[in-house]
A and B are shown apart, each in its own frame.
Chain A
Amino acid sequence: MIDVPAELFPSDAPPAGACVQVERPEDGLAIVRLDPPHRSMPLLDAPLLRDLGTTLWSLAEDASLRGVVITGKSPGRFAAGADVKSIESVTDPRLVEDLIRAVHRLYRFVDRMRPRVVAAVGGPVPGGAYELCLACDVIVACDDDSTRLGLPETQLGLFPAWGGAHRLPRRIGVPKALDAILTGRLFRARSALKIGMVDRLTKPELLLRVASDVALGRLDVTPRTRGPLESFFIDANPLARAIVGGMARKSVLARTKGHYPAPLVALELVLKATTTSLEEAADKEASAAAPLITSALCKNLVGIFFGSEHAKSLAKRTDGTRPAPLEHAHVIGAGVMGGAIASLLAEKGVWTRLSDLSRPALDASLLEHRAHVKKQLARRRMQRHEADAAVDRLDASPDVVGLKRTGLVLEAVAERLDVKRKVLGDLAARAPSDALLCTNTSSLAVADIAEGLPHPERVVGLHFFNPVRKMPLVEIVRGPATSDETVVRAAAVAVRLGKTPVVVKDVAGFLVNRLLGPYLDEAVRLFVDGADALRLDAALVRFGMPMGPLLLLDEVGLDIAQHAGASLFAAYGERMTPTDGIAKLARDGRLGKKTSFGFYRHETAHGRGKSKPPVPADDLPEFQRGTTARDLGDDELVDRCVLAMLAEAVRALDEHVVASAAELDLATIFGMGFPPFRGGLLRYADTLGATEVVRRLDVLAARPDVAGREGGPARFRAPESLRAMAKSGATFRGRVGGRPAGVRVG
């Protein structure tokens, strides 16, 4: 029997014995089925672990047993790993240790069972579920497209602590295990077989039969474990391990910039795995995992995980049904955004027609699409026929025709109200009566574009970010007339395209650009007031941003940033007063990366060589006027930029621009790269505490250089709701986010 801490049992836990079924189809064979009644997809939660333990202990007493098959509800539903939800609320490290030790006892029992134990798995087999497989003698997996195996724990700020950090390197060797664990990658069935993560593949319909035959020894399976030679020369060789470890550490640090401890902990454990006994390993894993799991960082990452799971549910109607998948789409405007969106639609299986008056623009979009597909093919992410289909699915023509079957039209034409209205009006008149009418505007109001259209309830903003393929966020902008059904269908399109949707209100800048406005403007002001450009950017990178604000401005384009700043000012007044610092810089076609010259000099890559990192322009001091920011410390630089944005985020939340603090946090992480380990902008505020945030805002607002400039105090004025939180000690996560944006307001 294993003792799972009682605190970890969910309130809807079924009675003992209900979660695991045993079938005895023939002599000597037992099929152990993970089949919890309270979940459609089994999860290795406390009740299931308890029942699995009881079941195996009693089976072990049966001397006639020669083989055991452990499988899930169906070939495609084995188990979705450990119960992360319950982990989220755990704060006591001892509880965590107890659980880990209990699971280790269970898995070790599986490992040592006399009968041959075969894991028969398919569908998602992540984390704890795959660690259960590792404890079995043989792993048989489904040979299909939906099967994914791996140990993704490091992505949640954890590491595979249920034996994974030790059993995987023993199975596939240290180098491959390091790669699998440190990247947290999930492997397709074929690649898993290739590197030895599973021993045998078969079609889902044959899974149980093959697994049973293997369990009873009727079918031979060559174990995919590492040969003695390889393990002697690499896994057991201290020198080789040191080299492999050193390289891995370097690449982890380059990726995490030292902000994430879990991969480094995992790294150490994996390196020593082959020289550690499993008992010892269990001990090490348990004591190393407990502080990680209870850390704020882990909670932040788990929060993001659930946040993005929740975001995907926006694609479902309230009754749980999903809209029919999109088959045909029309994109108007073959600029950077339109072309990339059309390309993505086509890649994801939607018949797409891209239209533009300019034939060269169409050609360029098509060529870019084909080049992308070719790259996917070269990297084996697509097969030949899939690549052909992706190419076939994008047609480009100046004529907007074939609208009868379209399910979505999206305009990505010039940011001019009259043009957008006309284009969308023409499309609305000819498209079917249920087609989504989408705009990719970033600076105009969806309400204004929808005005005068016969079907404003089908008009919705689908705000992609540039570059479309890389940026994971899509803002679903809900106009005053947009219907619930339209929002759900738009979110479904975003999810289909692999994006995370966040529903936002139709306000200037929507959410992400509205927050970026004061952040970027404040950075430029600091620069103008004497802060060193390189140091300013470095400070924010150290804070965790993917790039500094001035470099980001170069990427965005100085002209576009200027335009965005002006429209925010027009909408929100004095607190968005833009600095003239950009305007001074952005003369003579000096517009940032696209002209190779802005705050930085950008060298474009020639041929196959990697492009050099941008270097600050020599003449930057010419654009600096003051000295007030010259001697500010890194923390002060960061506070100025981040708190300006934070105050605006509180205002946006107060205005119900997004439904909840969690969604706002998700948008900051996926839309602007706010550091995931901080859990999002408002989670960062929670970490500081409302009182501290208010205090710092008050200090900033009172600084002479801020107080003395137009709109300065307004920008840093702490919102009343935040002061109230400071008094009551409330947090954003505890605060009910107000009415969700999914529900019509007013």
Chain B
Amino acid sequence: MTFSDSIVLAAGLRTPWARAGGAFSGEDAAHLGAATARELLARTDLDPSLLNEVIAGCVGPAHDQANVARVIALRAGVPWRVPARTVGRNCASGIEAVTEAATSIVAGHGDLYLCLGVEVMSSYPLIVGRKMTRMFARLAAARTLGAKLSALAKFRPSFLAPRVALLEGLRDPVVGLLMGQTAEVLARDFGITRAEADAYALRSHERAAAARAKGRFEREIVAHLPLAGDGRPPEASLAQDDAIREDQSPERLGKLKPYFEKPDGIVTVGNACGITDGACALLVTTATRARELGLRPLAKLRSWSWVGLDPSRMGLGPVFASAEALRLGGVELSDIGVVELNEAFAAQVLACERAFASDAFAKQHLQRERALGTLDPARLNPNGGAIALGHPVGATGARLLLTTAHELQHGDHELGLATLCIGGGQGGAVLLERIAA
């Protein structure tokens, strides 16, 4: 099968990224996603009945929104007959939604997809343990008072200890490491110091603060008035990412204690990405269809790749995935104008930087004679990244694509690479190409 058209990101929009437990803490994924989708549909003036499918990436939808994509679609006014699926690839779910759409287009299933990445980490629940669950089950099944009492008698205070869904979700169940611990592994592998990691984190905040001050994000953000949930109604809508620290400093970063490995680790909450809420919507179609619909696409998908690697070194995923995406796209790293590499941890980004530049790493892992090349710091995350903005896991991938696409225009680049590491030992990368205006 040959596919002669090109796949484009026809339009995109995101909410501000909001620190978890903050502005969007009363939100749920369906409402946040649907509000973003409605705004995108309104701005593109697209009739949603034309959509082939709605695809949403989300890692932790609420328990009553299992196929959250379908809930989002219907709550966004998409007609019943347009199907919807929720896709998951952990931190890359937002990109996964887009590459699934692209794959469907190439396969000839359709040519117009509304893709989303959405995550409300604030609403991740506490879980009651299995013993407690079993006790409730027995209690519910008990018919007689005696049976009920005997079920209740099984209760122990320890049953009340809640399990934190968020923490358990961030632990790799195969190698038993928290995500932050995999970053510590990389720091040791590549000899990265605490000072280097903190310096990188500071740079992320500085760049993000500068971008926000210049209004760079305004073209991608729609202000959002969050739901109150059970709390007090908000006073105003949120128009900007609220986790960026204008006043971040080496001193403040230096004061923080290692979070994952005490006392000698280097990953602190200051040089790791923050827990965040947000949603991002992208319209994925073909260049031809975009023209027909009167849309002016942001960028073209030149190639994409998904790879697997050692789960305890999952942070190197971007290196493997980028190598493959570049090969498929027929270009070298030096051709790339801008690289958005997700900042899960400063140590992990620095490890990637070194692996990209290492001949030995290339030979050993990438079946290449020479290194992929140097990641020019000026071209790497020019507007900061997840350390400053935060990382709403299911949504981040979509934002990386949106930010990269805008950066092509803004920074006058031909090619851009959006790539991230994925818990569980994977990497993903998408090569975007600018569309001549």
Taking Cβ atoms with an 8 Å cutoff, the residues of A that contact B are: 351, 353, 359-360, 362-363, 366-367, 370-371, 388-389, 391-392, 395-397, 399, 401-405
Contacts and interface: CB of A to CB of B under 8 A. Distances in A.
A363 B226 CA distance: 10
A332 to B, nearest CB: 14
A392 B233 contact: no
A370 B43 contact: no
Given A371-B233, A402-B41, A392 B75 contact: yes
Contacts of A395: 35, 38-39, 42
A505 to B, nearest CB: 36
Interface string B32-59: 0011001101110101000000000000
Interface in B205-251: 222-223, 225, 227-228, 233-237, 239
B41 A366 contact: no
B31 A391 contact: yes
B43 A402 contact: yes
A367 B226 CA distance: 10
Interface in B355-410: none
A629 B239 CA distance: 59
Given A351-B77, A363-B237, A405-B47, 14 more contacts: A359-B236, A359-B239, A363-B225, A363-B236, A371-B233, A391-B31, A391-B227, A392-B35, A395-B39, A395-B42, A397-B42, A402-B41, A402-B43, A402-B45
A396 B42 contact: no
Contact of B228 (A370, A401, A403): A370
Contact of B34 (A367, A392, A403): A392
Contacts of B47: 404-405
Nearest to B75: A392
- Across the A-B interface, the 10 shortest Cβ-Cβ residue pairs: A402-B42, A404-B45, A401-B42, A392-B75, A401-B43, A366-B225, A363-B236, A363-B237, A363-B225, A367-B233
A25 to B, nearest CB: 38
Contacts of A403: 45
Contacts of A359: 223, 236-237, 239
B28 to A, nearest CB: 9
Contacts of B39: 395, 397
Interface of B: 31, 34-35, 38-39, 41-43, 45, 47, 75-77, 222-223, 225, 227-228, 233-237, 239
Nearest to B228: A370
Contacts of B228: 370
A388 B45 contact: no
B226 to A, nearest CB: 10
Interface of B is mostly: loop
Which of A351, A353, A392, A399 counts the most chain B CB atoms within 10 A? Answer: A392
A370 B77 contact: no
B223 A370 contact: no
Contacts of A362: 225, 237
Contacts of A402: 41-43, 45
Nearest to B233: A367
A669 to B, nearest CB: 36
Contacts of B76: 392
Given A359-B237, A389-B75, A397-B39, A367 B45 contact: no
Nearest to B34: A392
11 contacts: A353-B42, A359-B236, A362-B237, A363-B236, A367-B233, A392-B31, A395-B42, A396-B225, A397-B39, A397-B42, A405-B45
A387 to B, nearest CB: 11
A353 B41 CA distance: 12
Which of B42, B236, B237, B239 counts the most chain A CB atoms within 10 A? Answer: B42
Contacts of B222: 397
Contacts of A367: 225, 233-234
Contacts of A399: 43
Contacts of B236: 359-360, 363
Contacts of A370: 227-228, 233
Contacts of B235: 363
Contacts of A366: 225, 237
Nearest to A367: B233
Given A359-B237, A360-B236, A401 B227 contact: no
A711 B41 CA distance: 57
Contacts of B223: 359, 397
A388 B239 CA distance: 23
A396 B45 CA distance: 15
Contacts of A389: 75
A372 B356 CA distance: 56
Contact of A388 (B41, B43, B75): B75
A396 B236 CA distance: 12
A401 B222 CA distance: 13
A635 to B, nearest CB: 50
Contacts of A396: 225
Which of A359, A391, A402 counts the most chain B CB atoms within 10 A? Answer: A402
Contacts of B42: 353, 395, 397, 401-402
A391 B227 CA distance: 9
A42 to B, nearest CB: 36
Contacts of B233: 367, 370-371
Nearest to B47: A405
Given A401-B42, A401-B45, A402-B45, A388 B225 contact: no
Contacts of A404: 45, 47
Contacts of A353: 42
A370 B235 CA distance: 13
B232 to A, nearest CB: 11
A402 B40 CA distance: 9
Contacts of A351: 77
A388 B38 CA distance: 15
A388 B47 CA distance: 22
A398 to B, nearest CB: 9
A401 B45 CA distance: 7
Which of B35, B43, B77 counts the most chain A CB atoms within 10 A? Answer: B77
A395 B227 CA distance: 13
Nearest to B43: A401
B275 to A, nearest CB: 25
A366 B226 CA distance: 10
Contacts of A397: 39, 42, 222-223
A402 B42 CA distance: 4
Contacts of B234: 367
A401 B38 CA distance: 11
B64 to A, nearest CB: 10
Nearest to A353: B42
A397 B234 CA distance: 17
Nearest to A405: B47
Contacts of B225: 362-363, 366-367, 396
A363 B235 CA distance: 8
A543 to B, nearest CB: 42
A363 B75 CA distance: 20
A399 B233 CA distance: 24
A397 B31 CA distance: 16
A533 B435 CA distance: 73
A382 to B, nearest CB: 15
Contacts of A392: 31, 34-35, 38, 75-76
A362 to B, nearest CB: 8
Nearest to B38: A395
Contacts of A388: 31, 75
Nearest to B223: A359
A252 B75 CA distance: 44
A745 to B, nearest CB: 39
A718 B38 CA distance: 58
A395 B43 CA distance: 12
A391 B34 CA distance: 11
A371 B75 CA distance: 19
Which of B38, B222, B227, B235 counts the most chain A CB atoms within 10 A? Answer: B38
A404 B45 CA distance: 6
Contacts of A360: 236
A584 to B, nearest CB: 39
Contacts of B239: 359
